[in-house]
Amino acid sequence: MTLVPIHLYLILGAILFTIGCIGVLVRRNVIVIFMSIELMLNAVNLVFVAFSRHLQSTEGQVTVFFVMTVAAAEAAVGLAIIIAAFRNRETVNADELNFLRW
Amino acid sequence: MLVGLGVLALLMILSLAGVVVVGGIDVASLNAGHVVFALLASLMILSALGVILNRSPIRSALSLVVTLFLLAVTFVSLNAYVVAMLQVIVYAGAIMVLFLFVIMLLNLQEDRPAMARAGVRGAAAVVGSLFLLAAAHFVAHPLGGTQAAAALPAGFGSIEQLAENLFTRSLLAFEVTSILLLVAIVGAVVLAKRKLE
């Protein structure tokens, strides 16, 4: 039924990725930065699935499966790091979390 | 209520017009797929903007849940049923609960106004315009094969097909993924411990 041309999905993916990218740059709350990263990963997932439909191959969907796994692992470890950092510094502001700088 | 419906109708018309103009589609050949895509895309962009524009992290997280659910619906419209199911379970379920849990655990206050420094603002503008340029490229040079959607192989996007690919051609990657998850579990537990001994 759907005959939505693939470049519309690509444009939507690009817009979502752009929004995520801008979020990473302008926000200072580490957790919101993390959410913006998830947004970017999902924009890429959308492009993978759109191409999988376009080329009628499941490769793209399998790749999305792996992206989701990596995103889940990243969220678990990243949020654990945020909690550990918050314990030490009492902040989640990216400007104040500079203890990796030397 | 009535105002909300009016706004929704206006959004619908605007997004449909956007799809027609950007996609170069004949108005006569518009079908339900286009309408659904227009609604999904506009709501998705709005909720994605909500993620980065909301001051309170909780609201950002809830906007992200909306975005991820809409993305799952888009996956269904692209015949990727298993991926849509995983999207709801893994993203909207597990990952978002984790986010909300951490936000509430840390008892975060409202963020100070974003976009304070001029340098950051400039960098964001450059990156944003670069990516929008990429989007404009797809508008100017649409990929051919709009009609490729004609006949899908039977069972496309079904769990059988996905599993067959996953356990034959992508078996190594699948096994490596399990190691990655194990490392992530151990890492999360170690990091969350108060003292290392």
pLDDT in tens, B89-113: 998 888 889 898 888 888 776 655 5
Confidence band (pLDDT; 50, 70, 90) for B73?
A: very high
Q: Which of A20, A25, A61 sits opposite B83 (nearest CB)?
A: A61
A77 neighbourhood in chain B, CB within 8 Å: 184, 187-188, 191
From chain B residues 30-49, the ones with a CB under 8 A of any chain A CB are 31-34, 36-37, 41, 44-45, 48-49
Chain B residue numbers touching A34 (CB-CB < 8 A): 99
B32 vs A45, more confident? A45
Show the tokens assigned to A72. Answer: 């889940």
Q: Which of A12, A22, A35 sits opposite B127 (nearest CB)?
A: A22
pLDDT of A1? 46
Q: How confident is the model at residue A96 (pLDDT cuts 50, 70, 90)?
A: confident
For the segment B113-123, the average pLDDT, to the nearest whole number, is 66
Contacts of B176 (CB under 8 A, 6+ apart): none
**What's the pLDDT band for A2 if we cut at 50, 70, 90?**
very low
Tell me the pTM: 0.83
User: For residue B180, what pLDDT is reported?
Assistant: 94
* Average of per-residue pLDDT across A47-70: 91
How far apart are alpha carbons A82 and A31 in whole angstroms? Answer: 8
Give the pLDDT confidence score for residue A46 in this predicted structure: 95
Token digits of residue A11: 């444009």
Whole-angstrom distance, CA of residue B186 vs CA of residue B177 = 14
Amino acid identity of residue A38, one-letter, is E
**Residue B186 burial (10 A CB sphere; 0-12, 13-18, 19+):** exposed
Cβ atoms of B72 and B84 within 8 Å: the answer is: yes
* Predicted local distance difference test score (pLDDT) of residue B80: 87
Q: Is B55 on the interface with A (CB under 8 A)?
A: no
